Amino acid sequence: MASQLVNPLLYPQEWDVVRVSGSPGMSSPGVCKLSGWARKNEFDVKKGKGTKGSTLTFTGLPPVEGEIEFFLWDDGTLGTGHNHFEEWSRFKELLKYDPTKKTIEAIAIFHPALDDIGVFSVICVEIGILIPTRELLYTVKCKFIEYTPQPKASAVGTARGTKKITPTDAAAAHAQAAGDASTQALKEALDGPTSQENEMNKLWKDYNAQGTDGAS
């Protein structure tokens, strides 16, 4: 997952932009904010009458939908080498479609958060207008839907049961992950003496044997 490789604490700039159209792609101007993006699984829930529980049947994996809001403020006079408004003019052209073409091409997109949920290709369904929010800051919102062509075979199936995770199991897993010293000590106690303890016992026996020989 991208969030492992592109740590937001080490690479915050990569979380501030999206890249579209190819590799490495064109970066969005200014700073952007993602919202509404979530990978959902669709299930048909059949409830029993007069009984507890239900049957869950997987029916589909719908395309992800979401919104990206772009924040623009630099008009080229701040000495950063950027003009967000000129950059936006070029960037938004990659989100448009030509109705005279017979086919509509999806847009390659990259953002660490989108990569985490497996979104790599999208269609832009709405491009908003620039809206002033306060002095020298403008925003524009765009809506997207994931491009996911249907596979030839369906994967409809009913969910099966699982083994219950008990509080004891959870505590043991946490202790193991944290390297709990008491858990290790308990394990060694149950497994018997360690190799170090065996060596100490051997030395102690040798010492006692030498003491007995000297006393005689």
Mapped onto helix, strand or coil, the DSSP state of residue 178 is helix
Q: Give the span between the Cα atoms of 110 and 78, in whole angstroms.
A: 28
- Residue ranges, CATH 2.40.30.200, the chain: 2-158
d(CA 167, CA 198): 35
Task: Name the CATH code of domain 2-158 (choices 2.40.30.200, 2.10.10.90, 2.40.50.1070, 3.40.50.620).
Answer: 2.40.30.200
Q: Is 67 helix (H, G, I), strand (E, B) or coil?
A: strand
Per-residue 3-state assignment (H helix, E strand, C coil) for 23-51: CCCEECCCEEEEECCCCCCEEEEEECCCC
Residues 47 and 114: their CA atoms lie apart, in Å, by 34
pLDDT tens for the 216 residues of the chain, in order: 677 888 999 999 999 999 998 777 899 999 999 999 999 999 998 888 877 888 888 888 899 999 999 999 999 999 999 999 999 999 999 999 887 876 778 999 999 999 999 999 999 999 999 999 988 899 999 999 999 887 666 665 565 655 655 566 555 555 565 565 555 555 555 566 555 556 656 665 665 565 555 544
Contact indicator for 149, 143 with CB cutoff of 8 Å = no
Euclidean distance between CA atoms 55 and 48, whole angstroms: 8
Distance between CA atoms of residues 191 and 203, nearest Å: 21
